[in-house]
Amino acid sequence: MPYTNSQATPRSDIYALVMQASADFQKLLIADQVFPVKGEDVKRGIYMKAKLANAELLNADAKPRESGATYARVNRKFDVDTFDTLEYGLESVIDDSYEAEVVRFMNLEATEAAILDRSLRLSYEARVKALTFDTGTFTATAASTAYTVANLATMDIANDVDLARGRLLKKGIIPNAVILGYDVFQRARRSALLQNQVYGVVPRAAGQKALPGVQDIAQALGVEHLLIGQAPKNSNTKGQAYSGAFIWTTDYVAVANVQGGEYQAGGVGRTIQWTKDTTGLITPETYRDDTRRSNILRTRMNTAEKVIDETSLELITTSYA
């Protein structure tokens, strides 16, 4: 049964408005595509995990058997992993007098809900990015040529992805996604070797530009999903002037198998959502605070962002400059 509180009213009407108001902005976010959401009705739990070595997943152990002899046997071992969801949330005080003053301009509750929703999603995006670009979990291999402006004629992201695909195939993983930041994507689509792979080597008039699109590049890289992290954030601290930066940085490109659903489907990770405490990935609700003569708008989520298969992703170090 979902979480209920007599003092806090879930606001599905606000949630609908938030989703509509944030629709365009949410196109910049990729966290729930890299770590798809999986609901669980417990806050903390365990699941079984078959690892390459302990479970002997890729051992070619079958041998000929002589008549009357025993068959070769395996001694398989399954590991256990755990998750523990954490609650994240923000509140906004909507003063009665201020709401009455601005009501002719906007729906203050819907506007505040959209801003709170965006803040939570940006924090979530940053957590997934940190897990994805983590060299303590995943193997990082240097690009064949550094992704610099000076190397636009020789940098070869398609070759680097192919080499990473080979490393994944040796672990029995078939990659279906390339994950990279906006700046790396723009640099890659301007590189001569990638353009040649998309268009073929053809003469072009001086100054002519032909930039491949997302689907062109996904096809050239041989993956179903090209996930481009375009979400911005304020890189300055609270109270300082705004300074925009991208959450997904330029230091790595990830080649991965991304899957949703049950854990046995594999894939690099999941966003595990505690469904008994939330009505969706993000839950908006309001309650009354008469001591402030205000409505309090709260937006919260209860999740664990979890790497479930550390063999499902390879990093390419870009040396971007």
Model pLDDT for residues 176-226, shown as the tens digit of each residue: 999 999 999 999 999 999 999 998 866 665 555 678 999 999 999 999 999
pLDDT of residue 61: 82
How distant, in Å, are the alpha carbons of 29, 263, 278 from that of 39?
20, 11, 10
Q: Kindly report the pTM of this predicted structure.
A: 0.88
φ, ψ dihedrals at 44, nearest 5°: -135, 145
- Overall average pLDDT of the 14-41 stretch: 82
Cα 311–Cα 194–Cα 130 angle in degrees, nearest 5: 35
Please tell me the distance from the alpha carbon of residue 82 to that of residue 85, in angstroms, as a whole number: 10
φ, ψ dihedrals at 149, nearest 5°: -60, -40
- Overall average pLDDT of the 274-302 stretch: 93
Whether 10 has a pLDDT exceeding 90, the answer reads: no
The domains found in the chain, sorted by start residue, are 9-55+77-199+210-317 (3.90.1690.10)
- Overall average pLDDT of the 311-321 stretch: 97
Whether 170 has a pLDDT exceeding 90, the answer reads: yes
